[in-house]
Chains A and B, each alone.
Chain A
Amino acid sequence: MTKIVVVTSGKGGVGKTTTSAALATGLAQRGHKTTVIDFDVGLRNLDLIMGCERRVVYDLVNVINGDANLKQGLIKDKRVEDLFILPASQTRDKDALTLEGVEKVLEGLKEMGMEYIICDSPAGIEKGALTAAYFADEAVVVTNPEVSSVRDSDRILGILSSKTRKAERGEGDIPASLLLTRYSPERVERGEMLSVEDVKDILAIDLLGVIPESQAVLNASNSGAPVILDSESDAGKAYEDAVARFLGEQRPHRFLTANKKGLFGRLFGAQ
Chain B
Amino acid sequence: MSIFSYLLPKKEKSASVAKERLQIIVARERATRGGPDYLPQLQEELLMVVRKYVEVDQDAINIQVDRESGCEILELNITLPDE
Q: Which residues of A contact B (CB under 8 A)?
A: 146-147, 150-151, 154-155, 158, 162, 188, 190-195, 198, 201-202, 266-270
Please indicate the chain B residues that have their CB under 8 angstroms from the CB of A269 in the complex: 2
Decide: B34 and A202 in contact? CB cutoff 8 A: no
Cβ of B75 under 8 Å from chain A = no
Interface residue tally for chain B (C-beta within 8 Å): 20
User: B15 — which chain A residues lie within 8 A by C-beta?
Assistant: 188, 191-195, 198
Q: Is the CB of A267 within 8 A of B3?
A: yes
Q: Which chain A residue has the least Cβ–Cβ distance from B5? A: A270
A158 to B14, CA, bound (A): 27
Known contacts A267-B3, A268-B2; decide if A202 and B19 are in contact (CB<8 Å). yes
Which residue of B4, B13, B19 contacts A270 across the interface (Cβ within 8 Å)?
Answer: B4
Measured in the bound complex, the distance between the Cα atoms of B2 and A139 in whole Å is 42
Interface of A is mostly: helix
Interface string of B1-37 (1 = CB under 8 A from A): 1111100000001111011011101100110011000
How far does the Cβ of A16 sit from chain B's closest Cβ, in whole Å?
Answer: 20
B2, B13, B21, B29: the one within 8 Å of A154 (CB): B29
Looking at the complex, which one of A150, A162, A195 makes contact with B34 (CB distance below 8 Å)?
Answer: A162
Chain B residues near A151 (CB, 8 Å)?
A: 22, 25-26, 29
Min CB distance, A263 to chain B, in Å? 11
Q: How far is the CA of A195 from the CA of B19 in the complex (A)?
A: 9
Q: Report the separation of the CA atoms of residues A270 and B8 in the bound assembly, to the nearest whole angstrom.
A: 13
The answer to whether B1 and A202 have CB atoms under 8 Å apart is no
How far does the alpha carbon of A261 sit from the alpha carbon of B33 in the complex, in Å? 46
